[in-house]
Structure 1
Amino acid sequence: MKKTSLSSALMIAVVGAVALVGCKKKEEAVTTPPPAASTPAPAPVPEPTPAAPAVTVTSVTVGNAAAADKTVAPLATLAAKDKIIVSIKTDGTATNANVAAKLTYQDGQVAGEQSVALNTTAAETTNIEFTKPSGWPAGKYTAEVTVDGKAAGMPQQFEVK
């Protein structure tokens, strides 16, 4: 076996390193392009402001009878065989706005849900009626109103006795 001295190994390594450095291409001088003619920056695009709802619910009333002008006298207690009317007063302009009313029983179960398409250009009252020929179960209920799927107006609570 042939022994290679440490100085020979170092010499070979130094020669290899010099050879690698010598083979490297010279980097061309990097020239920076002349600055482009200044153009005005584009005007910032303003953030769109969220559109106010076209129709707003001004009040929600629960009762069992509607007058000729669609107004409903508010009742806190209804009878089991009563018709439940959710009266929704709105203001604004809408074309085919989906106005919905949902009745929820005290245990969270949906007791009824209906919707109507609202076409209006001013203040208006819309009544949504719920009936149950077999009678409403006694207990507490909540009437909730939505416009185009978004909660609107104050939920109303009432009781059936």
Structure 2
Amino acid sequence: MSRNRLIYPLTAALSATLVLAACKKPEPVPAPAPPVTTEPAPMTEPAPVAATASVTTVDLGNAVGADNRVATAATTFSPKDTIYAAVATRTSDPAASVPGKLTAKWTYQDGQTVSEDSRDLNLTGDGTTTFQINKPDGLPAGKYKVEVSLDGNVVQTKEFEVK
């Protein structure tokens, strides 16, 4: 009988525990953690784009004005003319000074170089640079061309004739 004495109180205690567990309110489910937000990267100014220079036109003529522009454009010249190439340039930022090297290479119809002249310049805004060829005893009759390069790249070619 001593066994029954122990079983009844243990059974009663176990039943009471189960009843209390069944009546217990469920624990609240923790709220989900708020999403992790990161501060947006501070807005930075884009790096300034370096100003560039370009050749806009090349005009040929036998006279230039005080502004270095050709007075009257021509493609045919006499042997005793001084032939000018007026090279108009422009920078992408009118206030910026852009270093550049302009070259004019003059060639005869057989490919022979008559003259080549280069200038290291600081180009700003719109400008005009002139190059010229002449020969005191006269240029030989024939077809010629002038190639204008900016920083080693040919950017314009003009053909002309001496008659």
| TM range, smaller chain | 0.5 to 0.7
Shift of 1:95: 4.2
Q: After the TM superposition, which segments of 4 or more aligned residues of structure 1 sit over 6 Å from their partners?
A: none
Q: How does 1:1-161 map to 2 (within 5 A)?
A: 54-72=52-70, 73-92=72-91, 93-153=96-156, 155-161=157-163
Q: CA deviation at 1:94?
A: 4.5
Contact 1:54 1:94 in 2 (8 A): no
Q: How many percent identity over aligned positions?
A: 42
The one-letter amino acid of 1:157's match is: E
Deviation at 1:71, TM superposition (A): 1.2
Give me the whole-angstrom Cα distance separating, in 2, the residues matched to 1:99 and 1:132. Answer: 22
User: How large is the RMSD of aligned CA atoms in angstroms?
Assistant: 1.8
Q: TM-score, normalised by structure 1?
A: 0.63
The one-letter amino acid paired with 2:120 is A
Output the amino acid matched with 2:79.
A
Give the aligned residue type for 1:88.
V
Q: Tell me the matched-pair count.
A: 110
Give unmatched runs, 5+ long, in structure 1: 1-50
Q: Is the 8 A contact 1:140 1:157 kept in 2?
A: yes
Q: 1:151 to 1:94 in 2, by over 3 A?
A: farther
The Cα shift of 1:96 comes to 3.8
Q: Deviations over 1:75-115 (max 9, x none)?
A: 11111011111110000155441101011111111111101
TM-score by length of 2: 0.63
Higher Cα radius of gyration: 2
Alignment partner of 2:102: what SS?
Answer: strand
Q: Contact 1:55–1:94 (CA<8 Å) still a contact in 2?
A: no
Kept after mapping to 1: 8 A contact 2:147/2:154: yes
Q: Work out whether residues 70 and 127 of structure 1, in 8 Å CA contact, stay in contact via their aligned partners in 2.
A: yes
- Judged with a 3 Å threshold, the aligned counterparts in structure 2 of structure 1 residues 94 and 135 are, in CA distance, closer, same or farther, namely farther
Tell me the amino acid that sits aligned with residue 56 of structure 1: S
